[in-house]
Amino acid sequence: MSFHTTLVDSRILFVLIAISILSACAKTPKPPEQAQFTQLQIREMQTREYDSVSQKDVMKSVISALMDEGFIINATDNELGLITAAKETYALDESTKSIAEFNYGAGSGTYQTTLRSEASSIVNKHGDVIRVRITIVQKAVSNAGGNIWSQPLLDAQVYQGIFSKVDKSVFLEKEKI
């Protein structure tokens, strides 16, 4: 075995080790950090009550508010008071882009992430009031279709924004405007 062959083998081994190390350094995207809430705090954030209005009118108001927020309504069930909806936005995942391009070439890899928000709402009558609870789960999905992470959305401002639109719609309905 010659010195040249040993040198070439060493270089190949070095390149293989370097690729292995770089591949191991690829980061898995993490979900956004969330504040910690008790179950009671979460329910308060996600729930509102309305009086002097019908369940049907509140359901229409919730559907309108979700659509105003960019959600596409998937299904409704008037008997159960159930509404499901989803929306998607796209983001470039910088944490895995460079390693994917290194391994697979520019424009390749699974670094495009879809942020999917799935909303479910229950609109039920409780005595003289209509109670609405909206829950939203966010998921990051790679362009290869893999689920990267999934977690409930616990942002009071998001729920307040939706309920603000529901409040206005319910008010207009009550006033017959």
Q: Provide the token pair at 102.
A: 């290194």
Would you tell me how many other CB atoms lie within 10 Å of the CB of residue 63?
19
pLDDT interval class at 25 (50, 70, 90): very low
Q: Over range 63-73, report the average pLDDT.
A: 97
Question: What pTM was estimated for this model as a whole?
Answer: 0.74
pLDDT classification of 82: cutoffs 50, 70, 90 = very high
What is the DSSP-derived secondary structure letter of residue 146? Answer: -
Looking up tokens 């009558």, which residue turns up? 125
Where are the chain's structural domains? 30-174
Q: Write the CATH number of the domain with boundaries 30-174.
A: 3.30.310.80
Which DSSP letter does residue 115 get? Answer: E
Q: Percent of the chain scored above 90 by pLDDT?
A: 55
54 φ, ψ (degrees, to nearest 5): -80, 160
pLDDT single digits (tens) 128-158: 999 999 999 999 887 777 788 899 999 999 9
Please report the DSSP string for 4-48 in residue order: HHHHHHHHHHHHHHHHHHHHHTPPPP-PPP-----HHHHHHHHEE
Is residue 61 a contact partner of residue 55, using CB atoms and an 8 Å limit? Answer: no
Mean pLDDT of 2-13: 59
